[in-house]
Amino acid sequence: METVVSGIRSTGKLHLGNYYGAVKNFVQMQNEYACYFFIADFHSLTTHPTPADLHGNVKQVLVEYLAAGIDPEKATIYVQSDVPEISELYLYLNMNAYVGELERSTSFKDKVRANPDNVNAGLLTYPVLMAADILIHKATKVPVGKDQEQHLEMARVFGNRFNRLYSKEFFPEPYAFNFAEQLVKIPGLDGKGKMGKSEGEGNAIFLSDEPDVIRKKVMRAVTDSGPTENDEVKPQSVQNLFDLLKFVSSNDTFKHFEGLYNDCNIRYGDLKKQLAEDIILANAPMREKINFISNDTSYLKQVARHGALKARESASNTIREVREIIGFKSF
Ligand code: TRP
**pLDDT exceeds 80 at position 11:** no
pLDDT number for residue 105: 96
* Residue 246: active-site member: no
Give 266's pLDDT tier (boundaries 50, 70, 90): very high
Same domain, 147 and 201: no
pLDDT for the residue numbered 197:
82
Together in a domain, 139 and 256: no
SS3 letters across the chain: CCEEEEEEECCCCCEHHHHHHHHHHHHHHCCCCEEEEEEEHHHHHHHCCCHHHHHHHHHHHHHHHHHHCCCCCCCEEEEHHHCHHHHHHHHHHHHCCCHHHHHCCHHHHHHHHHCCCCCCHHHHCHHHHHHHHHHCCCCCEECCCHHHHHHHHHHHHHHHHHHHHCCCCCCCCCEECCCCCCCCCCECCCCCCECCHHHCCCCCCECCCCHHHHHHHHHCCCCCCCCCCCCCCCCHHHHHHHHHHHHHCCHHHHHHHHHHHHCCCCCHHHHHHHHHHHHHHHHHHHHHHHHHHHCCHHHHHHHHHHHHHHHHHHHHHHHHHHHHHHCCCCC
Residue 194 annotated in active site: yes
Q: Does 189 fall in a domain?
A: no
Q: Are residues 135 and 259 in the same domain?
A: no
Out of 13, 194, 234, 289, which one is annotated catalytic?
A: 194
The CATH number of the domain holding residue 225 is 1.10.240.10
Establish whether 146 is a catalytic residue.
no
pTM above 0.75, yes or no: yes
Ligand 1 is surrounded, with C-beta below 6 A, by: 5-7, 9, 40, 43, 130, 133-134, 142, 144, 148, 151
- Going from the Cα of 142 to the center of ligand 1, the distance in angstroms, rounded, reads 9
pLDDT in tens, 292-317: 999 999 999 999 999 999 999 999 99
Q: How far is the CA of 222 from the centre of ligand 1 (A)?
A: 32
Same domain assignment for residues 130 and 151: yes
- Same domain flag for 135 and 238: no
Same domain, residue pair 126 and 207: no
Does residue 190 sit within a domain?
Answer: no
| 18/161 same-domain check | yes
Distance 150 CA to ligand 1 centre (A): 11
The answer to whether residues 269 and 312 belong to one domain is no
331 in any annotated domain: no
User: Is 192 part of any domain?
Assistant: no
Residue 319: give its domain's CATH number: 3.40.50.620
How many distinct structural domains can be found in the chain? 2
Which residue segment(s) compose the domain that 276 sits in?
A: 197-291
